[in-house]
């Protein structure tokens, strides 16, 4: 075989092989980028859904906290219908969190919801106000973890108020 015959048959085949290899490599890279983009979009959508469920729960919990605060202050005591409706919204929002969030967050949301429920329905069972505060703290830390927020815990101590005037 001479070089002319070899070059007219082998070089076109080599070109076809290189072209096919380049096309397959390009498709593989494009598919990989698309897959990563899709995974990222799914994570963003999941985080958004979790955040919406958490904010809905926090809104309902805040309403119950306001009812409990009004009862403690004994002024403008809310009606039983308002308390019942608020409690219904709280338990519904809790279920929404259970559907889209981690089991750890779902459990801490349940504990907080139960503490608020007991505080509203049977206030003499919870005499220590730190029970509700601790349940809220654990729920917030679980929510931060579910949303991927890193860093130190949120717990902040309230400085003691000054009892004397201007010293």
Instruction: Say what the pLDDT of residue 10 is.
Output: 81
Task: Provide long-range contacts, Cβ within 8 A and 24+ apart, for 42-51.
Answer: 46/100, 47/147, 47/148, 49/100, 50/100, 50/101, 50/146, 50/147, 51/147
DSSP SS3 for 4: helix
Average pLDDT score over residue span 76-92: 83
Instruction: Say what the pLDDT of residue 68 is.
Output: 85
How does pLDDT run across 115-140, given as a tens digit for each residue? 999 988 876 666 677 788 889 999 99
**What's 12-71 look like in SS3?**
HHHHHHHHHHHHHHHHHHHHHHHHHHHHHHHHHHHHHHHHHHHHHHHHHHHHHHHHHHHH
Q: List for the chain the helix, strand, coil content (%; round to 5).
A: 80, 0, 20
Instruction: Say what the pLDDT of residue 46 is.
Output: 92
Instruction: Say what the pLDDT of residue 47 is.
Output: 92
Q: Which pLDDT band holds residue 112 (cuts at 50, 70, 90)? A: very high
Instruction: Say what the pLDDT of residue 126 is.
Output: 66
Report percent pLDDT > 90 for the chain: 46
Instruction: Say what the pLDDT of residue 167 is.
Output: 43
- What phi-psi label fits residue 76: left (phi over 0), alpha (psi between -120 and 50 degrees) or beta? left
CATH code for the part of the protein at 49-147:
1.20.120
pLDDT at 13 over 60: yes
Average pLDDT score over residue span 90-105: 95
């Amino acid at each position: 075989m001479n070089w002319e015959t070899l070059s007219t048959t082998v070089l076109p085949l080599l070109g076809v092989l290189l072209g096919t290899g380049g096309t397959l490599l390009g498709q593989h890279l494009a598919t990989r980028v698309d897959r990563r983009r899709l995974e990222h979009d799914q994570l963003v959508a999941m985080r958004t859904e979790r955040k919406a469920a958490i904010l809905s729960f926090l809104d309902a919990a805040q309403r119950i906290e306001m009812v409990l605060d009004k009862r403690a202050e004994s002024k403008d005591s809310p009606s039983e219908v308002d308390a019942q409706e608020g409690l219904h919204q709280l338990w519904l929002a809790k279920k929404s969190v259970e559907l889209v969030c981690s089991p750890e967050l779902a459990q801490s949301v349940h504990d907080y919801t139960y503490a608020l429920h007991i505080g509203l329905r049977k206030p003499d069972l919870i005499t220590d106000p730190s029970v509700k505060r601790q349940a809220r703290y654990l729920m917030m830390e679980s929510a931060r973890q579910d949303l991927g927020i890193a860093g130190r815990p949120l717990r902040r101590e309230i400085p003691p108020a000054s009892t004397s005037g201007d010293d």
